[in-house]
Structure 1
Amino acid sequence: MEIYHNPRCQKSRQTLKILQESKTDFEIRKYLDDPPSKDELQQVLAKLDIKPMALIRQNEDLFKKEYKGKVLNDEEWIDVMVKHPRLIERPIVIHGDRAVIGRPPENVRALLVEED
């Protein structure tokens, strides 16, 4: 199991706490320090079963200033997230071929049930 984590984000910290309390083995990826590649993002999107636009933080100032109202295709939105990882919604928890966004943090429990 892996968590794309931003220590400054309350939801990310709450999700991390759920993982820690579950006694599940997991790795922490501080994705702002170690951004995912284009290929990794494509894999995460497939595991989440969502379109790239659904993974973008549209309330971020950067999005509002540079991307709001732009019409880009899926590959271009992935490129935007690779270039600006802070636009990636967080936290993301990945387990095998599934993933969830920890908003709300309790979403991660669906992956933990699979562990039992």
Structure 2
Amino acid sequence: MEIWDNASCSKSAGARARLDEARVPYRLRAYLEQPPSAAELTEVLGRLDARAWDVCRTGEPAAVASGMADWPRDDATEPRWIEAMVAHPELIQRPILLLDDGGALVGRTPEALDEALRRAGR
């Protein structure tokens, strides 16, 4: 599994600790330093079965400055959301867990982490 990780985020740290405890192997991607391309983010959204605004942190300063909370949430504007998140990766919810079975989860809750462990066979 791959984790889109922010080392200073408590939710990312919690996910790493939970996976370490269960001895689940993973690769870290410091997505703030290695931001995804628009194509990568689009692919991950498909794996999450989510829309861009579902995983966008609209309270972050870059989002507030551009008024993202008020942007339309429709097919026509989703590319605009994705481009903003690629340009400002801090807007992407974390941690995102890219599972080896092809799925993905946002690992912010105990339930999401339980599901990740289950799908990893732990």
TM-score, normalised via structure 2 length:
0.88
User: How far, CA to CA, are the matches of 2:110 and 2:29 in structure 1?
Assistant: 17
The answer as to 2:93 corresponding to 1:93 is no
What's the CA shift for 1:106?
4.2
- 2:26 aligned with 1:22, yes or no? no
Of residues 100-109 and 1-10 in structure 1, the stretch that sits farther from structure 2 once superposed is 100-109
The answer to whether the Cα contact below 8 Å between 1:3 and 1:26 also exists between their aligned partners in 2 is yes
The range that moved more, 69-78 or 91-100, is: 69-78
Identify the residue that residue 50 of structure 1 maps to in structure 2.
Answer: 50
Deviations 1:32-67 (A, max 9, x none): 011111111011100110111111001112211113
**Residue in 2 that maps onto 1:66:** 66
Identity percentage of aligned residues: 34
TM-score for both structures, normalised by structure 1: 0.92
Distance 2:117 2:59 in 1: 29
Corresponding residue for 1:115?
120
Q: More displaced, 104-113 or 40-49? A: 104-113
The answer for the alignment partner of 1:75 in structure 2 is: 79
CA–CA distance in structure 1, aligned partners of residues 91 and 55 of structure 2? 8
What is the Cα-based RMSD across aligned positions, in Å? 1.4
**Structure 2, gaps ≥5 residues long:** none
- With 40-49 and 94-103 compared, the bigger mean Cα shift is at 94-103
Tell me how far 1:115 sits from its aligned partner.
2.2
